[in-house]
Structure 1
Amino acid sequence: MVHAVKAPSDVGLARRIAMVAYTEYASDPRVRREAETLVAEGHRVEAIVLRPRSGPSAAELDGVHLHEVPLSARRGGGMRYLYQYAVFFLLSSLLLFRLYRRVRFNLIYIHSLPDFQVFCALPFKCMRIPVLLDLHEPMPEIVVARLRRPTGSAWFRISAAIERLSCLFADHVIVANDGIRDAVVSRRVSPSRVTTVYNVYEVGPRPVSPEEVRRRLGLPEGRLLVHAGGVSPERDLATLVEAVALLPGHDDIHLVIAGEGAPEYIEALRGLAHHLGLGDRIRFVPKMQLELARALVALSEIGIVTLESNPLTQLAWPTRLVELVALRKPLVVPQLPLLASVLRDAARYYPPGDPQGLARALQEVLTNKHEWESKAEEAARVCQEFDGKRARTTLLEILHRVDNPTIPSSAPAM
């Protein structure tokens, strides 16, 4: 997304910002939006990120200077993730120090996961350079969810201790939703140190036409149901496949599952689809550029979000949900605490892990499209507080606050 760069506003003089994120920059909407927001305000942003498996990116993207460490993320078990996090921590720390010799940073902005990535800024913290920590997800909950451990386990306690130390080390903490904020505050982090900046949806400057999407991805004509995002058991996509097979009178509907996942899980979904007679009505497409993924989602008849119920998803506010709301898609989502508390009556809920319940929800929305399209407008009104303008204002207020730590925090959430 290209932004006009202007002189720094009342948040202070132009900053030289180092942003560190264990992610592929081009396909991470939250990291990109925040980096581009800062560039648009006249600040310089140097982003240290993962190298995509497709190969090195351009040195600059929409005004953000990219520095990719020679490491690509690979899915795997807990030890695989820990190894990759540790390698990225070491490589990014070295690169950050080397860049500092050329670009004298006056703000370090760290994205999590992992939370301990914030400690790559330790030498700069000793030089009184402010450090921001952005928690995309709550690390204790994600650890026990992925490892299938109870919340009272040693894994949870250790992760919670690391999270708390990371938050106390940072000058200020940004979180992606109020559920994460409540969890962090419950672990003895002062509410004044934590601000919510929800994920938002912004249309890019180069929209992809529906015809081009179908052509480029080889999609059939007719109605589509689309999942675009991570492809993992946590997304409960087996329930979605079974639910589509149970839909009566909708044989013209094709299911598209787009995104990156473990090959064995994708093969299991493919096998399930063939077993249920959906082999010719389901398409798997790989991870794609952000603009193409958004155009694909726009083709979906319904805004579907599927998640299993675990400690992490209890606090989830998926980025793709914001995109679906912005596209005015009637919503079908799992009955989970944070989703229900925000969306209230603006969505059709189903019990997580229940194919029959999801099929009934899909059938109701497909049959009563007009009624649920009005609910989509209601969802858009509910989510107005998560718009891009407010997110930008909150982010810039946080920058001003780390310059002036005596300024009290505004409302804890957007």
Structure 2
Amino acid sequence: MNQIKKKKRGCVIRHDYYPEEKSVHREVIALSEIGLEIHVICLRGPDQASEEIVDGIHIHRVPLKREKGSIGRYLYDYLSFFLLASIKVTVLHLRYYFAVIQVNTMPDFLIFTTLIPRLLGAKTVIQMHEPTPELWTTMSGSHLLIFLLEFVEQISLNYAQRVFTVTEQLKETYVSRGANPDKISVILNVPDARLFESGDISPIPSGDDFRIICHGAIEERYGQDTIVEAASLVKDVIPGLRIHVLGQGTYVEKFVAQIKALGVQKYVYYLGWVTFSQMVLELRQADVGIIAQKSSPYSNLVHTGKMYDYINFGKAVIASRLTSVRAYFDEDSICFYEAGNAEDLARAILSLYHNPNKRQKLARNAASLYHKNYKWDHQRKIYQDVYRSLIGLGEDDATVY
């Protein structure tokens, strides 16, 4: 008589919306592929059910939504979610018994929602997408809370049994502050190419236009103002210049005002928030993608996922010369410019405008590096292997008998 194998269960906690949050989505799919029944605890958006199952993933939403505002507002939201998520994961653990619980930051202290389940036997994993001390310094310009933030970071890393982060530079930073390097694995923040398989991602010729795309959060630290300044410098040389900026953020009002002040309304178009299908269309139509992050303690440690979107779509990338990006890509794969320098960005734009062959070569070289070393297939294997080791999953656990 064949013995029925009981499926192990895992839980992922994230202060965001699911399945909209793509990094969480690709991770839970990867975990389900190795035989885990996955539960997600997250925020509840408008018209979303408090409990549902989507593509086999059990979703448990707490009655909170994400709010932007002052530091006090962020802290209130984080503490509220911490309390509700702590209760939810404890109740669910008593019902299902989770073999492992992963917490995706921010905030770093969210890992302590797992305290009772851990005491009852659950393994704990923390996914550190962003360095909170450096992000705080970059956003506020203040160093007053750095000691406290670094302390919270380190006790969170020490508490977790395994740690994931997004670049070797960020891992080195955590280790330099006292973290154990042996339990930290680097998983690059790259898209799951299967996300685009349902649609066409082939290029759409832009005709006489020279189309540039920049998508993501509209924040001063992401350098959209540098793009507008550069546009004002090259508009007379590139009459068909069309820069499409997609996204939302706290810098939108100043960004739009700058477009008008510099008289580049015919060249820089702010499209706001767009649907996924609209974003794909914009990516297909673009000739070049720009990553315009300014240099900061934060930006030199991380990659933006948007860079990998451009590479995945076969676009040449112009990017500010930051430590973490230069460590993974060279001058033959990315067109670098001095971060925050509009004149140097203008030089890079003109260089790619005048030289289509260079655009193709950069795109081809970046894609080669990406597919050989960085794409999600490679990252997923690292991710899944860590879990197999942590909770004793074998290859046969991917199938339930």
TM over 0.5: yes
2:305 pairs with 1:319: yes
Q: CA deviation at 1:186?
A: 0.9
Rate the CA distance shift 1:318–1:91 in 2: closer, same or farther, 3 A: same
Q: Paired residue for 2:269, among 254, 276, 283? A: 283
**Aligned to 2:88, what secondary structure does the other structure show?**
helix
Q: Paired residue for 1:396, among 354, 378, 384? A: 384
Letter in 2 for 1:251: P
Could you tell me how far apart the structure 1 residues matched to 2:208 and 2:282 are?
13
Counterpart position of 1:348: 335
Rate the CA distance shift 1:378–1:126 in 2: closer, same or farther, 3 A: same
Q: CA deviation at 1:249?
A: 2.4
Counterpart position of 1:126: 119
Counterpart position of 2:232: 245
Counterpart position of 2:292: 306
1:199-254 superposed Cα distances (whole Å, 9 cap, x missing partner): 2221423226799x9xxxxx999443211111111111111111112113223222
Q: Paired residue for 1:174, among 147, 164, 173? A: 164
**Aligned to 1:344, what secondary structure does the other structure show?**
coil
Q: Paired residue for 2:319, among 330, 333, 339? A: 333
Could you tell me how far apart the structure 2 residues matched to 1:389 and 1:228 are?
24
Counterpart position of 1:55: 47
Count of aligned positions: 383
2:173 pairs with 1:186: no
Could you tell me how far apart the structure 2 residues matched to 1:221 and 1:377 are?
23
- Report the more deviating stretch, 339-348 or 68-77: 68-77
2:145 pairs with 1:155: yes
**Aligned to 2:308, what secondary structure does the other structure show?**
helix
**Aligned to 1:59, what secondary structure does the other structure show?**
strand
How much is the aligned-residue C-alpha RMSD, in angstroms?
A: 2.5
**Aligned to 2:327, what secondary structure does the other structure show?**
helix
Rate the CA distance shift 1:208–1:260 in 2: closer, same or farther, 3 A: farther
2:355 pairs with 1:368: yes
Percent identity, aligned pairs only, is: 21
Contact 2:202–2:313 (Cα < 8 Å) also in 1: no
**Aligned to 2:330, what secondary structure does the other structure show?**
helix
1:11-54 superposed Cα distances (whole Å, 9 cap, x missing partner): x97321111011222332211100111123332111111223x4
Q: CA deviation at 1:349?
A: 1.2
Could you tell me how far apart the structure 2 residues matched to 1:291 and 1:394 are?
30
TM-score (structure 2 length as normaliser): 0.89
Counterpart position of 1:40: 33
Letter in 1 for 2:59: L
TM-score (structure 1 length as normaliser): 0.86
Contact 1:228–1:297 (Cα < 8 Å) also in 2: no
Could you tell me how far apart the structure 2 residues matched to 1:307 and 1:331 are?
13
Rate the CA distance shift 1:372–1:225 in 2: closer, same or farther, 3 A: closer
- Report the more deviating stretch, 235-244 or 101-110: 101-110
- Report the more deviating stretch, 382-391 or 305-314: 382-391
